[in-house]
Amino acid sequence: MTVTRVRRTARRPALHGAAAARSAVFRRIALGAAGLALLFGAAQLAVLLSGASRLTFPLPSAVLGSVFSLAGTSDFWSSFGGTVSAWAEAMLIAVVIGVPAGLLLGSFTAIESALTLVIEFLRPIPSVVLVPTILLIAQDPMRTQVVAIVFAAIWPVLINTVSGVRSVDPVAVATLRSFGFGPLSVARWVALPSAAPFIATGIRIAASLAFIVAVAVELVSTGVPGLGSYASVTESGTADLAPLLALAVWSGVFGLIINGVFTAADRWAFRWHHALSAQGTGQ
């Protein structure tokens, strides 16, 4: 009986902490929903009082109606599938290239110093600007879209991987090297596990950025099926902006879902890292 009571007593702080975390999540969701409802009401009232043309400034309620209307059309979901397919392929390539390259640059200072200027020159270039050049080389709109997305998404993965490797405890690295482990073994057994939370953050940032670039490339390029091309067809077929704004809303919803999924996976996989960060900040 005594042992059982001790176990129950030990479990109480953990249960209390889990309940507090759930309560904080629900509170954030409720506040976010209230803020969204307030913004929607304010926008609806502003458009009604402005007296502007409903074609130029559609009512938010009309946009919301178009949002639900799009959800019932097969063309919309087919376009969404095309965008997600290109996004997933590009993200896989960006991770496969970005993580090993980041480990290499973070492990060898000389290589990083030699390539820093090149990376800083290429990183700010908008990938959409390169679409005509990529299309000229690839001669395939689908390949062009994937390459443009990879160009935009690889930088957050690469930079965060390098930062993660740089944050590795030097004592752990020195200990392995003293036992005869080479740079690749040190990167595999020490650098990669320690840098994993940083890599996850880079992938989460890249995922949202990649979705934005995927839609942007579809808007400026021809022959690329997806939400961007669907929006172009919708815009050219009617003067009403409500369906176009509804597509923008759906794009925001999908981006929010992508960020939420990656954030939840990050917090679940690296609970220890977030717990240590919270202790370090006194939260």
Residue type, 243: P
Name the CA radius of gyration of the chain, rounded: 24
Residue range(s) defining the domain that contains residue 6: 1-51
* C-alpha distances out from residue 231 to 75, 152, 185, 238, Å: 11, 22, 49, 11
Q: Report the interhelical angle of 192-220 vs 141-166 (nearest 10°).
A: 150
Task: Locate 86 and state its tokens.
Answer: 């290109």
CA distance 133 to 162: 29
Spatial distance between the Cα atoms of 105 and 114, rounded to a whole number of angstroms: 10
Give pLDDT, residue 14. 47
Task: Give residue-wise pLDDT tens across range 46-62.
Answer: 877 777 666 667 888 88
Binned at pLDDT 50, 70 and 90, residue 3 comes out as: very low
Same-domain pairing of 65 and 183:
yes
CA angle 70, 90, 102 (to 5 degrees): 140
Residue-averaged pLDDT of the chain: 80
CATH number of the domain at 276, please.
Answer: 1.10.3720.10
User: Are 62 and 14 in the same domain?
Assistant: no
- Same-domain status, 129 and 183: yes
- pLDDT of 220: 82
% of the chain surpassing 70 pLDDT = 83
Between the two ends of the chain, the Cα-to-Cα distance in Å is 35
Chain segment 196-231, per-residue pLDDT in tens: 888 999 999 999 899 999 998 888 876 778 888 888
Same domain flag for 91 and 127: yes
Task: Report d(CA 234, CA 243) in Å as an integer.
Answer: 7
Which of 51, 69, 87 lies at the terminal end of a domain, its last residue?
A: 51
Q: Answer yes or no: are the C-beta atoms of 208 and 255 closer than 8 Å.
A: yes
The answer, yes or no, to whether residue 148 has pLDDT greater than 80, is yes
- Other beta carbons less than 10 A from residue 28's beta carbon: 10
pLDDT band at 191 (very low <50, low <70, confident <90, very high): confident
**Does 116 lie in the same domain as 69?**
yes
| Confidence tier at 84 by pLDDT (50, 70, 90) | very high
Q: What is the mean pLDDT of residues 170-191?
A: 75
Helix axes 131-138, 141-166, angle to 10 degrees: 120
For residue 7, name the pLDDT band (cuts at 50, 70, 90): very low
Distance CA 51, CA 54 (A): 9
Q: Taking a C-beta distance cutoff of 8 angstroms, is the pair 186, 107 a contact?
A: yes
* More confident position, 134 or 181: 134
Residue 9 has pLDDT above 60, yes or no: no
**Would you state the pLDDT for residue 33?**
81
Query: Are 75 and 230 a contacting pair, CB within 8 Å?
Result: yes
The structure's pTM equals 0.78
At residue 113, the pLDDT reads 86
Q: What pLDDT, on the 0 to 100 scale, is given for residue 12?
A: 54
Residue where the block lists tokens 């369906």: 243
Q: pLDDT tens digit string along 249-263? A: 888 888 888 888 888
39 and 84 part of one domain: no
Residues 212 and 102 in one domain: yes
Number of compact structural domains in the chain = 2
Specify which of 149-153, 242-246, 278-282 reaches the highest per-range mean pLDDT: 149-153
pLDDT band of residue 242 (cuts 50, 70, 90) is confident
Q: Do 13 and 77 lie in a common domain?
A: no
With 90 as the cut, is the pLDDT of residue 154 above it? yes
Question: In the structure encoding, which two tokens stand for residue 20, read together?
Answer: 């507090």
Same domain, 66 and 37: no
Could you tell me if 177 and 235 lie in one domain? yes
Query: How far, in Å, CA of 175 to CA of 149, rounded?
Result: 40
Shared domain check, 26 and 124 = no
Do 147 and 134 contact (CB within 8 A), yes or no? yes
pLDDT digits (tens, 9 = 90+) for 118-136: 999 999 998 888 888 888 8
Asked if 262 contacts 255 with a C-beta cutoff of 8 angstroms, the reply is no
Tally Cβ neighbours within 10 Å of residue 238: 12
Task: For residues 46 and 70, state if they share a domain.
Answer: no
